[in-house]
Structure 1
Amino acid sequence: MTRRKLRPDEEELWRKVADRTDRLHPEKPFHPDDFVTTPAPKPRLKHTFEVTAALGKPSASRPTTAVNLTPSIVDQVTTQPVQMDRKAFTQMKRGKLKPEGKLDLHGMTLDRAHPALTRFILSAQSQGKRLVLVVTGKGKNRDDDSPIPVRFGVLRHQVPQWLSMPPLSSVVLQVSQANVRHGGGGAYYVYLRRQR
């Protein structure tokens, strides 16, 4: 990235500031262009690749576009390694295990849902429950003309992240999308560790 040159008014202002200050290192040469701040280059996401504008090999004449390939929340939860007993995991995914507790977060805001989830999970674990159901809902299509994009299904995306952070990460053994009979894409099975 190349540094931009100071505009004449910026250079004049810089010289006024520099003239009124004492230099820390008078032996070093000074030029105002040496102190122009430039924006840091944007870090590349680890899940990106280059797409060419036209089919074929990329060349200097064809522009490329970076595409974000961060997996969806469903894919992230699905690809987690199985931490629990494989047979119990299969039964849970098929909806054969009955949840021992249920928390419905429908209609809650993020600032109300997070403490409710934390209380529910810690309470369930202290009562010796192993499998609980957290219902988030699938989210609504919002047709507002806001300039700021709103994520579809905010709680659905946030709950797995909350479950993977302390204090819940030490209690939760496995998170999985619920079977259709227990809510499907709008709910999560949370399998808890045994209380010690």
Structure 2
Amino acid sequence: MTNQGDKDDEIKLFLDAVKDVRPLRSARVYHQAPTPKPIPRQFLRDERQALADSLSDGYIPAHELESGEELLYLREGHSPDILSKLRRGHWVVQAAIDLHGMVSDEARVYVAEFLSHCRKRGIRCVRIIHGKGLSSRNREPVLKHKLRNWLMQKDEVIAYAQARQQDGGSGAVIVLLKA
């Protein structure tokens, strides 16, 4: 058995040992995983709508080159050599999309998102397959004509030309984008 004197000595010894100690601000320490950042869903919806709205079906180009049925376009201020190089396949196609089976509104959003994605990734030359319109009403290429207007509205498009036969011919277009 310990007597009261020993207990007093132990308490005095303990108090002497902890006299310079400062209490912690919080006695509890929590280890929490960092909270993930919220997903800005409305912002993403707004961005997607802005992309879609940036292309209009009612756009009437001030100038466009047509040689028979072949579609050609060159933004003002660029050398005509760009068109001949584009038509000959000078640039390697780095990305492609296919609009077959899409309605006009779907295709417009898809094209806008695709061009935005390509610009962010530094892609310069792309192929967009619009089809020949064989399955559409009146067997006319609806998307082909809308696509050329959409492309002319996009600032990042320098030029476009109908694809070579092995790349899709009159059912596709090769587009050169700004660097």
Q: TM-score, length-normalised on structure 2?
A: 0.55
Secondary structure of the equivalent of 2:93?
A: coil
RMSD of aligned alpha carbons: 2.9
Answer with 1 or 2: which has the greater Rg.
Answer: 2
> Offset at 1:96?
4.0
The SS at the match of 2:122 is coil
Q: Is this contact kept in 2: 1:82–1:174, CA < 8 A?
A: no
Q: 1:122 aligns with which of 116, 123, 129?
A: 116
In structure 1, the partner of 2:125 is 131
Q: Pick closer, same or farther for the CA change 1:126–1:95 going to 2, 3 Å.
A: same
CA distance in 2, matches of 1:113, 1:190: 16
Supply the distance in 1 between the matched residues of 2:135 and 2:151 (Cα, whole angstroms).
Answer: 25
SS in 1 for 2:145: helix
- Residues 158-178 of structure 1: per-residue CA shift (max 9 Å, x gap): 10011122xxx2111111111
TM-score (norm 1): 0.50
Q: Tell me which residue corresponds to 1:180.
A: 165
* Structure 1 pair 127–78 and aligned structure 2 pair: CA distance change class (3 A): same
CA contact (8 A) 2:88 2:164 kept: yes
User: Which structure has more helix as a fraction of its residues?
Assistant: 2
Alignment equivalent of 1:161, drawn from 131, 149, 167: 149
Over the matched positions of the two proteins, sequence identity in percent amounts to 27
* Larger RCO of the pair (alpha carbons < 8 Å, separation 6+): 2
SS at match of 1:78: strand
Do the aligned partners of 2:83 and 2:160 also contact (CA within 8 Å) in 1?
A: no
Structure 1 runs not aligned, ≥5 long? 1-70, 143-148
Q: Partner of 1:191 in structure 2?
A: 176
